[in-house]
């Protein structure tokens, strides 16, 4: 399997399977001399972890990260940073009955078609377990962006099935277990999720993300546009089916006169562009939202085939998230952070540190 590396100047390679002994990542290109805050990394991992509430997978992983390279006396050395996490609670027997079957809506079929075999235990490499290492790497990038530019990245839950949440998150670090911007929405969401779990079904979700404080000028037209790279980063997360930047698909119904973000008194008066113009950051908030499909591993039987093409009724056991989009919030933040840090280094590489034009629009 190739292409397990993300980024251009800041690269992150992840490895490992859901039910293998360990998962890990190697970060290359991280600037030297940056103090590594292991508690912060661990806290980000906790936000994403399974088993934080009855509404997510009950697999109990410690997700205790071990730094094994690239850090000396608490600071990055400029050499590859490697991190490892031991898998402690894989229960592979849950997957014995589907080892020769294709779950409808899952990557089981396409992995078979592409590689000729698949690690059926917990989905192997196609499992959302892989995203753990993105969050670990993303935590370092978040910290670096905050320290060097004052950038804050916040994600929150915008919708779960028919439950739409209208409040925009206004803090910097969201520690809510279900990533709601407004605690008042919790009873509605919990009763919806309780009913969903009892029914044995799953549902999709929408996650919003906002990066504040990104300087104008990041992004590389034409094939390395910042919005294109953000979209690709989000699409690489398991179960993503759509990405919107700024007004996104609502732009279809806009008139140009309302969509353009007019400039008055030295400031943009709206942000339909989502902080990116011509693939380059404008200095406004970068805003995006990501659509996640419903989890395909269900205990409700569904018609499918086995590897000989014979009809079967597939029933998936295991400890699955009824809504995988909920735990995706910190993953979306991590992918935003990694994309922005990569672009920060790319911008510095071509254009240097100083602004090249004096005009400033707030």
- Positions in the binding site for ligand EPS (CB under 6 A): 18, 50, 57, 59, 61, 90, 94, 122-123, 127-129, 132, 297, 318-320
Based on CB atoms, which residue is closest to ligand EPS, 132 or 287? 132
Based on CB atoms, which residue is closest to ligand EPS, 18 or 159? 18
Please state the closest distance from residue 160 (CB atom) to ligand EPS, in A. Answer: 18
Please state the closest distance from residue 261 (CB atom) to ligand EPS, in A. Answer: 38
Please state the closest distance from residue 321 (CB atom) to ligand EPS, in A. Answer: 6
Please state the closest distance from residue 36 (CB atom) to ligand EPS, in A. Answer: 22
Based on CB atoms, which residue is closest to ligand EPS, 197 or 319? 319
Please state the closest distance from residue 197 (CB atom) to ligand EPS, in A. Answer: 14
Based on CB atoms, which residue is closest to ligand EPS, 47 or 347? 47
What separation in angstroms does the CA of 257 have from each of 192, 245, 250, 261? 40, 19, 14, 9
CB 146 within 8 A of CB 152: yes
Based on CB atoms, which residue is closest to ligand EPS, 206 or 320? 320
Please state the closest distance from residue 18 (CB atom) to ligand EPS, in A. Answer: 5
Based on CB atoms, which residue is closest to ligand EPS, 132 or 174? 132
Please state the closest distance from residue 56 (CB atom) to ligand EPS, in A. Answer: 8
Based on CB atoms, which residue is closest to ligand EPS, 120 or 144? 120
Angle, in degrees to the nearest 10, between helices 38-48 and 329-351:
140
Based on CB atoms, which residue is closest to ligand EPS, 135 or 154? 135
Please state the closest distance from residue 113 (CB atom) to ligand EPS, in A. Answer: 19
């Amino acid at each position: 399997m190739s292409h397990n590396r993300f980024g251009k100047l800041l690269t992150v390679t992840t490895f490992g399977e859901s039910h293998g002994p360990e998962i890990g990542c190697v970060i290359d290109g991280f600037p030297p001399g940056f103090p590594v805050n292991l508690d912060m990394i661990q806290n980000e991992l906790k936000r994403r972890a399974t088993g934080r509430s009855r509404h997510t997978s009950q697999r109990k992983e410690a997700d205790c990260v071990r730094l094994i390279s690239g850090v000396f006396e608490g600071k990055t050395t400029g050499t590859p940073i490697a991190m490892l996490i031991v898998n402690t609670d894989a229960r592979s027997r849950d997957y014995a009955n589907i080892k020769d079957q294709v779950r409808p809506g899952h990557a089981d079929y396409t992995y078979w078609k592409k590689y000729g075999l698949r690690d059926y235990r917990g989905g192997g490499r196609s499992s959302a377990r892989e995203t753990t290492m993105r969050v670990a790497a993303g935590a370092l990038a978040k910290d670096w962006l905050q320290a060097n530019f004052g950038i804050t990245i916040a994600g929150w839950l915008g919708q779960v099935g028919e439950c739409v949440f209208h409040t925009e998150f206004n803090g910097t670090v969201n520690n809510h277990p279900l990533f709601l911007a407004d605690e008042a929405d919790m009873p509605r969401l919990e009763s919806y999720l309780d009913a969903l779990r009892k029914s044995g079904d799953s549902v999709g979700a929408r996650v919003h993300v906002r990066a504040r404080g990104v300087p104008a000028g990041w992004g590389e037209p034409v094939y390395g546009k910042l919005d294109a790279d953000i979209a690709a980063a989000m699409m690489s997360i398991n179960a993503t089916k759509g990405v919107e930047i700024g007004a996104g698909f609502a732009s279809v119904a806009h008139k140009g006169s309302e969509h353009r973000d007019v400039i008055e008194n030295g400031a943009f008066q709206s942000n339909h562009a989502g902080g990116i113009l011509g693939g380059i950051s404008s200095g406004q908030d970068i805003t995006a939202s990501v659509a996640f499909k419903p989890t395909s591993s269900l205990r409700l039987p569904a018609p499918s085939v086995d590897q000989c093409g014979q009809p079967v009724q597939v029933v998936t056991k295991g400890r699955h998230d009824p809504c995988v989009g909920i735990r995706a919030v910190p993953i979306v933040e991590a992918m935003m952070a990694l994309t922005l840090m990569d672009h920060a280094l790319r911008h510095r590489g071509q254009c240097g540190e100083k602004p090249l034009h004096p005009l400033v629009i707030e």
